[in-house]
Structure 1
Amino acid sequence: MKGPSADPDACAAAAGRLWPVATYRAALFFCLWLVLAGVDVADLPAAAAAIAAATWTSLHLLEPSRARRSVRAIARLILLFLYHSVVAGADVAGRALNPRLPLHPGFVTYPSRLSPGLRQNVFTTLTSLLPGTVPAGEEDGEIVYHCLDIRQPVVTDLAAEELALVQALYND
Structure 2
Amino acid sequence: MTGSSRDRDGRAAIRGGQLWRIAMFRAASFLCLWLVLAGANPGDFPAAAVAIATATWTSLHLLEPSSSRRSLVAIARLALLFLYHSIVAGIDVAGRALHPRLPLHPGFVAYPSRLSRGVRQNVFTTLTSLLPGTVPAGEENGHIVYHCLDVTQPVLDDLAAEEAALVRALYND
Give the TM-score normalised by the residue count of structure 2. Answer: 0.89
Aligned to 1:7: none
Letter in 1 for 2:48: A
**Matched residue SS, 1:104:** coil
1:37, CA displacement in angstroms? Answer: 1.9
Unaligned ranges ≥5, structure 1: 1-12
Q: Distance in 1 between matches of 2:118 and 2:64?
A: 13
Q: Distance in 2 between matches of 1:96 and 1:38?
A: 44
Asked whether 1:100 is paired with 2:130, we answer no
1:124, CA displacement in angstroms? Answer: 0.1
Give RMSD over aligned pairs: 1.1
1:35, CA displacement in angstroms? Answer: 2.3
Aligned to 2:162: 161
Q: Distance in 1 between matches of 2:75 and 2:82?
A: 10
1:100, CA displacement in angstroms? Answer: 2.5
Answer with 115-124 or 91-100: which moved more: 91-100
Letter in 2 for 1:126: L
Larger Rg belongs to: 1
Unaligned ranges ≥5, structure 2: 1-13
Aligned to 2:65: 64
Which structure is higher in helix share?
A: 1
1:123, CA displacement in angstroms? Answer: 0.2
Give the TM-score normalised by the residue count of structure 1. Answer: 0.90
Q: Percent identity?
A: 77
Asked whether 1:29 is paired with 2:13, we answer no
Asked whether 1:20 is paired with 2:26, we answer no
1:101, CA displacement in angstroms? Answer: 4.3
Q: Distance in 2 between matches of 1:16 and 1:102?
A: 57
Answer with 33-42 or 89-98: which moved more: 33-42
Deviations 1:14-72 (A, max 9, x none): 22111111111001111111222223111111001100111111112222111111111
Aligned to 1:143: 144
Aligned residues: 160
